[in-house]
């Protein structure tokens, strides 16, 4: 299963993409690959199960909340053998708990301490 979480905006206007494809992870920040490596298979499988549930859940129309200062736009792409999903949450939008849990799990998996054989990438 492929999972991509793309976060853009925020206080400093950052652009961060965290990708998980099976047990392979990559972190791309402002167009530059920062980390690339592998996570434990059990962790990858747990995240894939969460992503599968999120991909299949009904999501109501999400609207931006006016007057959100320094908000972050979050887009999630999930692809499996039998489904695909694209979810987008503009700044200030109410995000379902299951989606927040998935984002947290992907963020934790993409931390340097979680990645096996992680090597900083130098494509700057």
Percent of the chain with pLDDT over 70: 82
- Looking up residue 34, the CATH number of its domain turns out to be 3.30.1560
pLDDT mean over 6-21: 85
Domains of the chain: total? 1
Half-sphere exposure of 104 (CA within 13 A, CB side): 7
Q: Render pLDDT for 34-74 as a digit per residue (tens, 0 to 9).
A: 888 999 999 999 999 999 989 888 765 555 555 666 677 88
Per-residue pLDDT for 82 more than 90?
A: no
pTM for the model: 0.80
**Domain carrying residue 69:** 2-120
Long-range CB pairs of 9-15 (<8 Å, 24+ gap) are: 9/70, 9/71, 9/72, 9/73, 9/91, 10/70, 10/71, 10/72, 11/70
């Amino acid at each position: 299963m492929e999972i991509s979480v793309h976060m853009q905006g925020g206080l400093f206007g950052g652009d961060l993409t965290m990708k998980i494809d099976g047990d392979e992870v990559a972190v791309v920040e402002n167009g530059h690959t920062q980390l690339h490596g592998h996570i434990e298979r059990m962790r990858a499988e747990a995240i894939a199960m969460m992503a599968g549930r999120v991909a299949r859940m009904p999501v109501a129309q999400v609207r931006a909340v006016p007057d959100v200062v320094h908000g972050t736009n979050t887009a999630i792409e999930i692809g499996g053998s039998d489904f695909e999903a694209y979810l987008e949450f503009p700044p200030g939008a109410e995000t379902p708990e299951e989606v927040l849990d998935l984002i947290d799990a992907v963020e934790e998996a993409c931390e340097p301490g979680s990645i096996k054989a992680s090597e900083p990438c130098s494509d700057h």
